[in-house]
Amino acid sequence: MLDGFDEDTGRDIGPQEQATRRIVKDLEDSHPEYDPIRDGLCQAMLSLAANIDSQNRSGREISRNMAQYIDALWKIRDMYPAEVVADDDVEAAWSGGAGDAD
């Protein structure tokens, strides 16, 4: 967890914030190198998630906060794209190996 967000402060932690904490932990585990941009985006997402949960509890509109949250999530995803792995058949076709019909 990021500094300041690793302890329960006695308040309810809603489902959006719980999910965001898991996202942040996964990012920190898979990319342990220091990245101030990622850390800032994660911090913003944690704040937005807490606000979204609070607004949901009180029946308030969440679309603006959710749009900002999703935008930050996409930015993080773009910073760390998933590794694309070719399956064995595609790899064999690219390398001219078995499975090449020509």
Interval 45-60: pLDDT, tens: 999 999 999 999 999 9
- Please check whether residue 34 lies inside any domain of the structure: yes
Place of tokens 């070719």: 86
Record the tokens describing residue 22, joined without a space: 């898991």
Domain of 38, in residue numbers:
15-95
Q: What is the pLDDT of residue 10?
A: 74
The number of domains in the chain is 1
pTM (global) more than 0.75: no
Q: Which helix (H) or strand (E) holds 88?
A: helix 88-95
Record the tokens describing residue 23, joined without a space: 């996202």
- Please check whether residue 50 lies inside any domain of the structure: yes
Q: Residues in the chain with pLDDT < 50?
A: 100
Record the tokens describing residue 73, joined without a space: 């999530």
